[in-house]
A = this chain, B = another copy of it.
Amino acid sequence: MGIKERKDRQKTEMREAILSAALKLFSGDGFDNVTMRRIAENIEYSVGTIYLYFKDRNEIFFELHKLGFEEFYKRQLAIQDVKDPLKRLTEHGLVYIQFAIDYPLYYDLMFISRIPGKTIKSQHDWKSGHRTYDLLKLNISQAKGAGYFKNVDIEVAAFSLWSFVHGIASLYVRDRMMIVPPEAVKPLVTGALKFIERAY
């Protein structure tokens, strides 16, 4: 009775085709470029068909945002072998910002855009977010064990560091850095990561 299995497979294949078409349009020219009609055209199906696989346009973006979190988490895991807790935390920040630079549209979807925010009503859906946040808290508590963050609550430290790198990333992603000349951006960012170390 492998027919049910095949149907399930075809269903996920279709969902993946839709998502990858959406991502292609997304990366091509940003948000507004991802229209239902263009997705349909891309996968060579009619518009209505998409609605058999996704509730609406938001659900597509929500699914993309989850894919983004996967890559995000992978990158953060990759630097967990850095021995020195201080270096690891700074690396953590660097990886965070680099992700925003490499995948500005993913970052947008994950941390800025309102589109998926509506779908994320319950904390439950933010699972992907919690996982990386826990990793940050772990690294902070280990740094604490090594003598850093004296008299600082871990929750406060985690929130502070997150806000810091998110601030940098979102200023970059949303083009609010023209206040500084373009060639100054990189040294400014590395300088900022050195600066925040003073608070550790």
Chain A: residues with CB nearer than 8 A to chain B?
Answer: 111-114, 117, 120, 123, 126, 129-130, 133, 152-153, 155-157, 159-160, 162-168, 170-171, 174-176, 178-180, 184, 188, 191-192, 194-199
Bound together, the chains give a CA A198 to CA B196 distance in angstroms of 9
Nearest Cβ on chain B to A66's Cβ, whole angstroms: 15
Please determine whether B155 and A184 come into contact, CB atoms closer than 8 angstroms. yes
Bound together, the chains give a CA A184 to CA B154 distance in angstroms of 13
Q: Which residues of B contact A155 (CB under 8 A)?
A: 180, 184, 188, 191
Contact of A160 with B111 at beta-carbon distance under 8 Å, contacts A165-B167, A166-B167, A178-B126 already known: no
Chain B, Cβ-Cβ closest to A167: B167
Bound together, the chains give a CA A57 to CA B171 distance in angstroms of 24
